[in-house]
Structure 1
Amino acid sequence: MKKVLLTATAAIVVSLTSCKKSENGNKSVLKSEESGVILADNGKVDSTIHYETDVNGKKYLKTNYVYKATDGSLVKVVFNYDEETMSVRSNNKTFILNKVESKGNETIYEKMDMKATVKGDSLILHQGDNIIELVKTKI
């Protein structure tokens, strides 16, 4: 009887000490940080901003995307969130637009007669009477 009780007690002690979880977690899993979240002009989180992170964990607030127009032409768009600008490059011409307004899920950039509205994966350019619809590609 003593052997059974001693064996059961030893098994319980071993199982309790071996199941102790580490509070540090898995070192190879990257944690997401909510600090440094950029807010839109209305105080809500700006969902149009996507961060790139380098090897050292530093966040870049400048991102490059390739958009495709309805006619099939490709346009390179660079968002520089530090300077609050967007540059559009097509046909060896670059247009730099300044951020005017952000509503959380939609951001508007303007310069002179050119206006760009970014919402999700779509970008709509207004230049005078011309409207150009662009969609983000997976290139």
Structure 2
Amino acid sequence: MKKGLLIAISTITLSVISCKKSESGNKNVLKAGDSTILADNGKVDSTITYNTDVNGKKSIKTDYVYKATDGTLVKVVFNYKEKTMSIRNNNKTFILNQVESKGNETTYEKMDMKATVKKDSLILDQGNNIIELVKTKI
């Protein structure tokens, strides 16, 4: 019994010691230096939020939940590479294209729908309807 326990402890200890940490990591995670997105004016786009992991590496946060003044929740996903924004509510998804980015305000449009993102607020303008949304902590 003692020999079996000793062999098991030795095996576990050797396996833990011999494991090497890979420095290459996940190739799809953005490096901290590469993750800063600039607005059209060349300044840092302050409408973009970053996640920082325990190792201090930054990654871009792309999906948010916004809440309308009437309590309706809307899921918004930003695709910064394609410069689009998708808004999902009631099983309907609207995809808008980025038109302008000033650093503190970004505008997206498609047909008669216009969305303006500024800090934690999102203002949707569709014809005669203006909907104000605020980013939630969900």
Match of 1:135, SS state, is: strand
Distance 2:129 2:122 in 1: 14
What is the deviation of 1:36? 4.2
Alpha-carbon displacement from aligned partner over 1:1-56 (angstroms, at most 9, x marks no partner): xxxxxxxxxxxxxxxxxxxxxxxxxxxxxxx9344421111111101112346799
Q: Give the letter aligned to residue 109 of structure 1.
A: Y
Structure 2, unpaired ranges of 5+: 1-30
Aligned pairs for 1:65-84 (under 5 A) are 65-84=64-83
Equivalent-residue separation in structure 2 for 1:58 and 1:33 (angstroms): 5
| Cα distance in 1 between the residues matched to 2:83 and 2:59 | 13
Cα separation, 2, equivalents of 1:46 and 1:98: 16
Q: Which has the greater radius of gyration?
A: 1
User: What's the CA shift for 1:84?
Assistant: 0.5
TM-score (norm 2): 0.70
**Partner letter of residue 108 of structure 1?**
T
Aligned residue number for residue 38 of structure 1:
37
CA distance change for structure 1 residues 43 and 88 in 2, over 3 Å: closer, same or farther? Answer: same
- The SS at the match of 2:62 is strand
Residue aligning to 1:136: 135
Contact map agreement 1:62 1:80 (CA 8 A) in 2: no
Structure 1, 48-57 or 85-94: larger mean CA deviation: 48-57
Give, in angstroms, the shift of residue 83 of structure 1. 0.8
Match of 1:126 in 2: 125
TM-score (norm 1): 0.69
Could you tell me the percent identity over the aligned residues? Answer: 81
Unaligned ranges ≥5, structure 1: 1-31
Q: Which moved more, 1:52-61 or 1:76-85?
A: 52-61
